[in-house]
Chains A and B, each alone.
Chain A
Amino acid sequence: MAPDAHRILKGNLSFARRVLARSSVGLWLLRACSLAALALLLSTAVVLVAGAESALTSVLGALAVFGLPLLVVAAVAYALLRVPSLETVAVMTDRLLPGRENAVISSLQLGERADELSSFYSRAVIDAVVSDGAALSQTLEFRGLLPARKLRFWSVGLLVTATALAAFLFLVPGALEPSFSSLVTSPFAERVSLAVVPGDVAIDSGEDVSVTVSVKGSLSEPRLRVSSGSRPPYYLEMEPADTTGSFVAVLESLVAQTDYMAELGRVQSPSYTVSVRTPPQISEFLISYEYPDYSGLEKRVVGTVVGDLSALKGTRVWLEVTFTRDVSSAGLRFDDGGATPLVKRGDRKLSGSFVLRGDGTYVVSATDAVGKEHLSPSYVIRCREDLTPFLKLVSPLPEADLPEDMELPLEVICADDYGLSSLLVHYYASPQDVRSENIRTFEHRTKEAVLTHFWDLNPLQLLPGEVVTYFLEVFDNDAVSGPKAARTPLMTVRFPTIAELYAEMEEGHAEEILKLEDILREAETLRAELETVSREIKQDSQLSWERKKQMEGFWTTYERMSEGIDGVSRALEESVRQLESYDPLSWELAEKIQEVRELLDELQDPDLRRAIERLQEALAEFDIPDIESALADYNVSQEELLKGLDRAIELLRQIRFDEKLQAAVEEAADLAEREAEIGDALDSEDANLSDLAQQQLGAGEALEQLKNELDKLAAEAKEANQEQLSEMLQNMSKSIGKGGLLDMISQASSMMCSQRTPALRRLVRNIEGGLLELADQLSQAQSCSASERLADVTEEVRRSMHELLELSEAQEELAMCTGQEKPEELAVRQHTIHEGTSVVADKLFETSKQTFFMTHRTAAELGLALKEMGDALRSFESGRLGEGVQASRIAYQGLNNVLRALLIAEQSMCAAQGGMGMGQGLRRMRSLSGLQLSINRTTEALYSQLDKQGRLSHSEEETLGRLAAQQEMVRRGMEEVSRALGDRRDVLGRLEEIVEEMRDVQTRMESMQLDQDTVRKQHRIMSRLLDAQKSVQQRDYTGKRFSRPGRDFPERESPPELSRELLGEREKLQLDILRERAASYPEAYRELVEQYLRALSENAK
């Protein structure tokens, strides 16, 4: 049994030993592999950092490729060498048997030496121990002998390092390829070689050199090392040229000898040299500009290294070129294909000249000593064109009205960069007849001019309503390209009809009324606000901060109101000027407008301004008593302002009505004139009847409008309680309407469509007469309106004067009181006078709105008198008799002053009540002359139709009867006129003769006595009428102009800066550029200056 047991034991222990050996090999293998992975990782990292071509790559590569397998083998060998003996295994086994120390080892040792020991020990004991040991070994788990912890640790270590390696290789760019690949392949890699093309080479200065490097044995990009002269070398990166390992770099614009070589890691190509040849170069240009004579610019010589040319078109350029080396010949080549040879003036200097005709470029070609041609860089030729002149018509506006004197003032600003030659006006009244007129021929090289030319349109013999179309044209003095011109847009000037003038003025005055109404509203709001402030101060004896701030704004409001009033005043002044120019006969109306203007000027009361200033000062100092006192002063002046504004508005309304009426009168007269023209055309044989029919229809439409206007005027007159006028206007409107002039016109236009008959002629003349009659009736109605209105107002003023006289007497009594009276009784009397005067003052104010004869000062005087009465009343009430009497006396004096002013007004009104004023009389005479002319024409027509027996047909007799009635109307009108001109004894005699002659003609007509004598007398009447008009007009009205500072329009060569205000931004820029052109800037800067000016202009916008 013992040997078997021992064998079993040994077998078991051998098995354990094998297990231990395997585990040891595994453990050491894990350790080696972990180390190898780590080494690979580190090596790859080193290569990545140092570069695949670095020296380390091959070392590390060798280590990795050869060292790491060795490491693994060594680890296995080491593990195998360290396999334990059976005794060691037995001892290790015993450690697994707690409490049975040495059982297995002793069994093994006893079993092996059983024979030897059997002599000393019992065999059985030995066998039993061995058997026990064998049994124990049978039961043992040898796995407990394995170094499980270490195996786990290194397994994890290997896993980590392998993972790190894998991650590094696949995740880090360049780690796998080329670093790792270079690492592992380096021990087996071939040797790197570089081939460089073109090697040594010679080029012209400034040329480029392309260098190609072919790399063998490496996939990496080589670099090109470049060095030139004393400059430090630098590297050029090379770009792959293809996939075969060729790389390219370009050495650009080489101007000096340059060395280069290729490098790839430690590998370098040989060094090569690029030699540079130097061509002949231009070292200097000497340019001389000879400008065209007309420009007036002086010759200019410029020395420069750049051959760019810039000059005015037509300039002769002389060019001298200096080269750096000798050249055999040279020339200029232009981009348009042209060429100019340069003449040799030395070994290196050549020159030539040409004339600038346009923009372009040029190069200088030079042939060197060896015959090689060299071209200079391209140079710019900038040819400046002479600019188009500048022309601005400052005034009149594009659509202007022709002044009465038929001279249109043309205010012109014109300029050119090198000089102006002439200024013309082209115009036509009919497009078939375009005319031109030279306004001005400018002196040599006049560059700028501001001038006013009074363009006389008298030769055109325009009629009211006719339009002249015109434009201005200015030429410059360009002798190279030919004079250039600038033109204004087409503009028109119209000879307005007086009817239009009045209609326009009426519209203007409607606007002025609206403006004044706005100002009045504002003034009323201001007053209300100040009253609130005043109340607050009285109640609280203080002023809130907000209120103070609000009051500080009052000045602005006042200023705004003041500006508004100024504006209206200016507009009214313009109306006066227009009336003066177009219709001098209407000076009465002009005077009325002037009165309103003066009233508005008076409203700009310095007292009010002072009061506001005081208020501002008091506000600044926050002095309540001062504020209160300033407010009181302000209230007085403000009240006057309000009343004045109210009155101005009412007076302007009255003026508007007068203007409307006057417009109607003029419109009727215009229509009569048009009808007369139609009549004249009918008399001529070559008139186109259908055209005349159209004209007749047009006249009908205008008359229809006039009728509507008359209806409106009648309504307005009724509203203004001018019943008589309203009725007259209604009657006139009816006379136009059904069965009246409109029907006659319609009939005439129908007849014109068929044929020209004597009946048609008579009808047209009847229409003309009817229209003249209408104009006269309107004129009459106008006078009647004025008289009616004036009579009413005079009556009102007189009544007020009577009341004031009563009050004045009462006030006088009070002022003369002896002092014996009781103060309270005096107070009662004063109160009654004060109240009575207030009532009269209110009435007078209402009356003053209807008349121009009362001045604003009258109201102011009355206000002062009332103030004194108030003071007297307060004094009497408080028992201060002396002060009361004193104030009472001043009030009495004030009342007398008012009475005096009213008396003057009343007398003026009385004087003006003669039915019509001088101006109106003259106007009426003019209208009657028209009517007389119409009567004369019709009479002559009738006379020519008399048969041989000198008899008239029945219808002709009817016509003559109507003419007699018209003649009577004219006579009566003339009687009225002679009454109006009653104080003109020189004219009066003639007028009376005219009236007598008219009476005679009328009697002849009534008795159907139509003969040569009647016609002759009618001619004489007409002639005398015209003479009388002329006489009155010459003596009375030529000097009847409102004084105004004289206007001067001198021509100026150089416009002052003020003129710039008249120009727009674009025009200013244009003018500035023209001016700068003339300035002596270097050519190169000129464009910059122009750009700068444009930029300024943009900024200004």
Chain B
Amino acid sequence: MKTLSIHHVVVRIVAVLYVVVMVSSFMLPGLSVDSVAHSAVYSAAPSASTSALMREATKEFLSGNFTKASALFSELLGRNLTYLQMRDVLVYLCESRLREGNVLAAESVAVLATQKLSDVQGLERISFLKGEILYFSGRIDEALEEYMTFVEVNPESPRVNDVIARLLLMDENSDRDRVPLRAFSYAQFLWFADMPDSALSVLDVLLASFPHALIADDALSTKGDILRAREDFVGAIAEYDSLKTRFPESHLVPVCQLKAAYVYARQLKDRDKAASRYEEVITEFPETSFAVKARRLLQELRK
């Protein structure tokens, strides 16, 4: 009974945290469903300015300036677009919204895109984004369904491995009514929306609340990845090492060991430690593809 009440408390904390962050993300500027719906008009040939706007929006998108890219793509939606332009605009707009952290707006665009798009490529891209939106927003069952449909409908898609990775993650970590999983997906979303600090906070709360959750090892690994991305290499290595200590049986141990070795080799320029990590992988996980990779990297390191 005691354990149950703690569990309930933790669930509530995470849920509250989740709701707070979701609401904050909802407050971010973005397109309303209506505005998107009313702006979709087709024309036979795009005007020159439309092309220029398209180029500019894409440039902003590729340079990671998603807010601006979103605005430009929204504007483009009101113009006469060819089908291909229309497809690109909707897909990019959806992703931009998502990367902005505006899940609801992204979902509206995705819904609109599903109605408007009819070609396989476009539907494939939007279906993937829909899966991501559902996953990031913690709707695991729906995400599972969407991803499964994606795999079935688009078996040749290059995104299949990403989708499978998600599906596997969800399958593996369905304990405790998926609360830890939802928290983790939210952390991933924050990181995706370029909010690494928030992501780290969520992961910390997750690890503190559910230290023995199945997803805890993924959380540690992701923490390490975020820290590495923030160039806190020592912190990253510490998280990777922590994973090995806390979850020695985790499938992520060799992965994190390789990452740590890479950080030592490339960022910290500590070749000995890097070599030592590679050797550890080779010794501790000899019958794995990680050992093969470690052997190759070790050879490169020793050149």
A residues contacting B by CB (< 8 A) are 798-799, 801-803, 805-809, 812, 828, 831-832, 835-837, 839-840, 842-843, 892-893, 895-897, 899-900, 903, 906-907, 910
Contact = CB atoms under 8 A, between A and B. Distances in A.
Nearest to B258: A806
Interface in B181-198: none
Closest 5 CB pairs of A and B: A836-B289, A808-B161, A836-B292, A896-B160, A832-B296
B168 A903 contact: yes
A896 B289 contact: no
Interface of A is mostly: helix
Nearest to B161: A808
B161 A812 contact: yes
25 contacts: A801-B168, A802-B251, A802-B252, A803-B290, A807-B289, A809-B161, A812-B158, A835-B289, A836-B288, A836-B289, A836-B290, A839-B287, A839-B288, A839-B289, A840-B288, A840-B289, A892-B158, A896-B155, A896-B161, A896-B164, A897-B155, A899-B161, A900-B155, A903-B164, A903-B168
B230 interface: no
Interface of B: 151, 155-156, 158, 160-161, 164-165, 167-168, 171-172, 251-252, 255, 287-293, 296
A802 B167 CA distance: 11
B165 A798 contact: no
Contacts of A837: 289
A296 B29 CA distance: 106
A806 B289 contact: yes
A801 B165 CA distance: 8
A803 B288 contact: yes
B160 A899 contact: yes
A837 B165 CA distance: 17
Contact of A798 (B156, B168, B293): B168
A805 B292 contact: no
A840 B293 CA distance: 13
Contact of B151 (A831, A840, A903, A906): A903
A728 B191 CA distance: 48
B220 to A, nearest CB: 15
Nearest to A909: B171
Nearest to A910: B171
A837 B168 CA distance: 19
Given A802-B252, A803-B290, A812-B161, 15 more contacts: A803-B289, A805-B161, A806-B255, A831-B296, A832-B293, A835-B289, A836-B292, A836-B293, A837-B289, A839-B289, A840-B288, A896-B160, A899-B160, A900-B155, A903-B164
B155 to A, nearest CB: 6
Contact of A893 (B156, B288, B296): B156
Nearest to B171: A910
A835 B297 CA distance: 14
B285 to A, nearest CB: 10
A837 B171 CA distance: 23
Contacts of B290: 803, 806, 836
Contacts of B255: 802, 806
A520 to B, nearest CB: 24
B170 to A, nearest CB: 10
A891 to B, nearest CB: 13
Contacts of A802: 168, 251-252, 255
Nearest to B144: A907
Contact of B296 (A828, A840, A900): A828
Interface centre among B155, B289, B291 (most CB of A within 10 A): B289
A349 B293 CA distance: 119
Contacts of A893: 156
Contacts of B252: 802
A844 to B, nearest CB: 11
B188 to A, nearest CB: 16
Contacts of A892: 158
A831 B297 CA distance: 12
A803 B251 CA distance: 9
B171 A907 contact: yes
Contact of B165 (A805, A831, A839, A842): A805
A805 B168 contact: yes
Nearest to A835: B292
Interface centre among A802, A831, A897, A903 (most CB of B within 10 A): A802
Contacts of B158: 812, 892
Contact of B167 (A803, A835, A903): A903
Contacts of A808: 161
Nearest to A810: B293
Given A798-B251, A828-B296, A843-B287, A900 B164 contact: yes
Interface centre among B292, B293, B296 (most CB of A within 10 A): B292
B292 A832 contact: yes
B292 A900 contact: no
A17 B168 CA distance: 165
A903 B151 CA distance: 10
